[in-house]
Amino acid sequence: MSLTLIVLLPFLGALLPAIMIRAGRNTCAMATGSVTLLALILLASLAPAVMAGEVIHVRYEWLPALGLNVNFFLDGLGLLFATLILGIGLLIIIYARFYLSKSDPMGRFYVFLLLFQGAMIGIVTSDNILLLLIFWELTSLSSFLLIGYWKHLPEGRQGARMALTVTGAGGLAMIAGMLILGNIVGSYDISVILQHGDMIKSSPLYALATVLVLLGCLTKSAQFPFHFWLPHAMAAPTPVSAYLHSATMVKAGLFLMARLWPVLAGTDEWFYIVATSGLITMVMGAWIAMFKDDLKGLLAYSTVSHLGLITMLFGFGTPLAAVAGIFHIINHATFKAALFMTAGIIDHGTGTRSIRRLGGIASLMPIAATIGVIAAASMGGMPPFNGFLSKEMMLDESLHMAWLGQDWVFPVLVTVGALFSVAYAFRFIVHVFLGPKQPVYPEHPHDPGFGMWGPPAFLTVLVVLIGLFPAVVAGPLVEVTSRAVIGGELPEFHLALWHGFNTPLMLSAVAIIGGLLLLWRHPGLMNATKNLSRPEAKAMFDGFIEKLVGLARFMTDLLHSGSLQLYLSFMIVAAIAIGLAGFYTHDGYLPGTRELLPVSVPVVIAWALLMLTCAASVILHYNRLLVLLFVGVIGLIVSLGFIYLSAPDLALTQISVEVVTVILMMLALNILPKETPRESTAGRRFRDILIAVVAGLGMGGAVWAVMTRDGVTIADYYLQNSLTRGGGHNVVNVILVDFRGYDTFGEITVLGIAALTIFALVESVASGKAAARLASWVKEHRESAERHPLMMVIATRVMLPLSLMVGVYIFLRGHNEPGGGFIAGLVVSIALIMQYMASGFGWTQNRMRANYHAMIALGVIAAALTGMGAWVAGYPFLTSTFGHFHIPFIGDIELASAMGFDLGVFLTVVGAVMLALAKLSQVERMAEHSDINTEPMDHDPSSGRPLTSPQQNEA
């Protein structure tokens, strides 16, 4: 439970800064820091068990059928990264309180920071790759918010977009790779995957999975050729740079390489991709860093270089190289976070980050100088600091590596990279803190308060302690972490400042002397290289995005023309192509074995009439009224087909739906043009006819193939379990309210939304210019002189109670006989519609004061409450129950909980139909001028509220 709470605390705590900022900046910072501190304390409580070799597991089932479970585990690797995330995160929270100005919204900053912190903790503790992928993408989104925190700066927005684009694209590739790994092993649990390294490496999908996973890792950790986003992300505030780009976000890729090292490392594919990318990144980043004048720019490229160093070590694929990589992760996090915070202090104290405008500030800012010199010396690999130790281990491992059979490549190039590192580290020291003072600084240099220099000073102390006493301070953590990474016995290694005179020490001496010589000749190198043409990553990225946007715009203009006809054509042609591909790739067509049913004369007549009306609907589609009549005929024939095939429920539903829709469509058609314009050309009509004929033949062939073959269908299950498990003989109704009740619940919700949409659309017609046009509309057709025939009025009023009784009867018997809430709702709606047609809208509406909005809402709520009632009994949502009861004078009856659900269906159907009718009838009345037979309306037809003003009554 503690592990789960560690993951959840940052997400839950993200609410605090937004609330506590109103209590002041100090209170806000304290609230934020307390969240991280509590998580760090909980982590510390688990640390002794992990350091003793135990792996802590927490498992929650979520979607086990899909392999998606909320599983967390904490081993040595997770402990290391969680400590860095929470520990440095706490220091950054303190630092940011004093770094951010009063104009910066601190509450928003801390919210983003905690969201990012929670996502990172989720990554390093996830024991399910699908869960890890969720947290992985959350880091991209939250880092986007942090990098673009200063949204008033164009470079901040640009850097945020670039980071999100590159890391997001890599994350998409990584998703595919991780899914392949889970598919190879048969489990998405990381702890299970780590036990099947041999199976993964022997799989034919290993190379593909490795490349895809590494795309995610290399983009996240800014490795060549994806390194360019990290320097542009330095437009973020310094606390963001210190946290994301030294200790957390860029380390996520390294973490995943370390996590999957046991199952992916040790092959040629892994070596040449990872080690080569790391080597190039290390040397290139160090070279570029030497010529950067902006402090954060120098540190950004130095970060790129050191990330390349760690990536190269993991790429070597040897256990001792992995140990060196783990050790350098710790060292880099300490000195680089301290350096970024020092850069912020210098910017804060002098008003500039430009090295050209600095120099000689050691005496003016002694505290910042002390911190900066120690951290920079460690960054350059100078003894006796921690960076020197891991650099020595790296140089030693490079001596045992050969690239394409050449054993000199790695030792020479890593020494060159180390030489450049010494040069830019000493440039940071000499050109910023030493040398002559500038005549004028943008602001008078001064050390800040403890709130700003305390966090980097704490990290600097760790730099010194680890360097002097590595086996004591960092040894146990390196050991337990390395054991988790390697997944087996640890190689023999000894963390110490002095290993005697050996080849790595000689290479270090070469790097230090060469770096100092480069620093001595730095002005000349600057002049010699400033005019060299070099690829500009930002320009290349912007150009690529511009081309991509242009291509997207071209495809959008080509495909999204606004023609629904064209879209439908694409869909149908694609379906035809897929069907033909499946047909021709099969072994061959085999005719079905089921005997055909006899075809009687009435069936042939009905079929011919159906074909005739369908063809007439297509040919005469421009005549809307005529097509509406054809559609009604088609619906009637389909209903007869349902009756012929012994499906009375479907027949009742089809007939009821046809009656309701035809009446509503005729109401709408009365205020619309009676004919549609003929827009299609002859060529387009020929194309549409061809597509329709081929698609129709294909669908007919598919239906024929299915119906002429024997097979087991789900219908058998429904037939066998309808009575025993659903308590009803009417299989169709039991399916709707029980077996597939969730589908029905969604359908009635959509039906209610559709009715509200009709209400909203028609409501806009009842006001403004549209209402004025309706009021002045001169109808083109003659109307009957007798709008409400007396015989029809009397008949409908007499039939109303009988019709309502029939509706209730159909509703009550629906569980065992043809009927149910949907059909009953339609029957009652038809009975009410007949009152509107016979007696007029005003007369009927004045006597039926119903709030149709409330009726729809009650229907959906009744269905939902029925489903939720199952939870009380400990069953899944919408699980129904039933029983038989004896009632005196009535007899034995059956009651099912599904009746409550059916009542919700009934109310929703009646409310939706009547709301649509009320609004359409209201617009119809607006189009009428004077009719002495029309009774005025005295209340709102949709809500039931009285109309009080004469203007409303007139409307």
Model confidence at 88: pLDDT above 90: yes
Average pLDDT over residues 377-405: 89
Q: Give the model confidence (pLDDT) of 667-678 as tens digits.
A: 777 777 777 777
Contact 459, 387 (CB under 8 A): no
Residue 777, token pair as written in the block: 């509309």
Sorting pLDDT into bands at 50, 70 and 90, what band is 941?
low
Q: Which phi and psi (to 5°) does residue 140 adopt? A: -65, -45
Whole-number Å distance between alpha carbons of 565 and 178: 40
Q: What is the mean pLDDT of the chain?
A: 85
Residue 954, pLDDT > 60, answer: no
Higher local confidence (pLDDT), 664 or 298 = 298
pLDDT beyond 70 at 938: no
Residue 77 has pLDDT above 90, yes or no: yes
Of the ranges 153-157, 696-700, 839-843, which one carries the lowest mean pLDDT score?
839-843
- What does the block give as tokens for 651? 């027949």
pLDDT tens digits for range 782-807: 666 566 778 888 888 888 888 889 98
Question: Treating both helix axes as pointing N-terminal to C-terminal, what angle do 25-51 and 2-13 enclose, rounded to 10 degrees?
Answer: 160
Q: What is the mean pLDDT of residues 702-724?
A: 84
Residue whose C-alpha is closest to residue 324's, from 381, 405, 409? 381
- 76-104: average pLDDT: 92
Q: Mean pLDDT across the stretch 207-227? A: 91
Please list, in sequence order, all residues whose beta carbon lies within 8 angstroms of the beta carbon of residue 642, skipping any fewer than 6 positions away.
648, 650, 651, 654
Q: How far apart are CA 237 and CA 241, in angstroms?
A: 7
CB atoms within 10 A of CB 829: 24
Whether residue 515 contacts residue 522, with contact meaning beta carbons closer than 8 Å, is answered with no
Instruction: List alpha helices for 873-946, DSSP H.
Output: 898-927
- pLDDT surpasses 50 at 933: no
Q: What is the pLDDT averaged over residues 333-357?
A: 90
pLDDT of 309 strictly over 90 = yes
- Return the DSSP state at 709: S
CB 445 within 8 A of CB 349: yes
Binning pLDDT at 50, 70 and 90, where does residue 955 land? Answer: very low
Q: What average pLDDT score do residues 115-134 get?
A: 92
| pLDDT winner (highest mean) among 279-283, 353-357, 846-850, 951-955 | 279-283
pLDDT digits (tens, 9 = 90+) for 35-52: 999 999 999 999 999 998
Residue whose C-alpha is closest to residue 668's, from 933, 930, 935, 916? 916
Examine the pLDDT at 952 and tell me if it is beyond 60. Answer: no
* Full-model pTM: 0.70
- Return the closest-CA partner of residue 117 out of 156, 80, 88, 94: 88
pLDDT tops 60 at residue 578: yes
> What mean pLDDT comes out for the span 264-272?
91
CB 408 within 8 Å of CB 276: no
Whether the pLDDT of residue 463 is over 90: the answer is yes
Question: In this predicted model, which residue has the larger pLDDT, 833 or 118?
Answer: 118
Confidence bin at 10 (pLDDT 50/70/90)? very high
For residue 776, pLDDT beyond 80: no
Q: Residue 130 in contact with residue 67, Cβ under 8 Å?
A: yes
Q: Taking the CA of residue 258 as centre, how many other CA atoms within 13 Å lie in the half-sphere pointing to its CB?
A: 33
Burial (CB count within 10 angstroms: exposed 0-12, middle 13-18, buried 19+), residue 223: buried
Banded model confidence at residue 435, pLDDT cuts 50, 70, 90: confident
Which pLDDT value is given to residue 882? 82
The sign of the torsion formed by the CA atoms of 688, 692, 695, 698 equals negative
Residue 49: CA atoms inside 13 Å, Cβ hemisphere, count?
15
Cβ atoms of residues 322 and 266 within 8 Å: no
Q: Which DSSP symbol is given to 675?
A: B
pLDDT higher than threshold 50 for residue 951: no
Model pLDDT, residue 949: 45
Cα dihedral 937, 942, 947, 949 sign: negative
Confidence of residue 257 (pLDDT cuts 50, 70, 90): very high
Task: Give the pLDDT band of residue 87 (cuts 50, 70, 90).
Answer: very high
Relative orientation angle of helices 76-99 and 25-51, to the nearest 10 degrees: 160
Bridge partners of 70, per DSSP, are 60
Dump pLDDT digits (tens) for 230-251: 888 888 888 998 898 777 888 8
- 189, 128 in Cβ contact below 8 A? yes
Among residues 737, 717, 736, 748, the alpha carbon closest in space to that of 880 is found at 737
Of 335, 366, 333, the residue nearest 252 (C-alpha): 333
- Report pLDDT digits (tens) over 595-627: 888 888 988 999 999 999 999 988 888 888 888
Decide if pLDDT at 931 tops 60.
no
Residue 661 confidence (pLDDT) above 70: yes
pLDDT > 90: what percent of the chain? 32
Nearest 5°: the CA angle 806, 807, 812 is 95
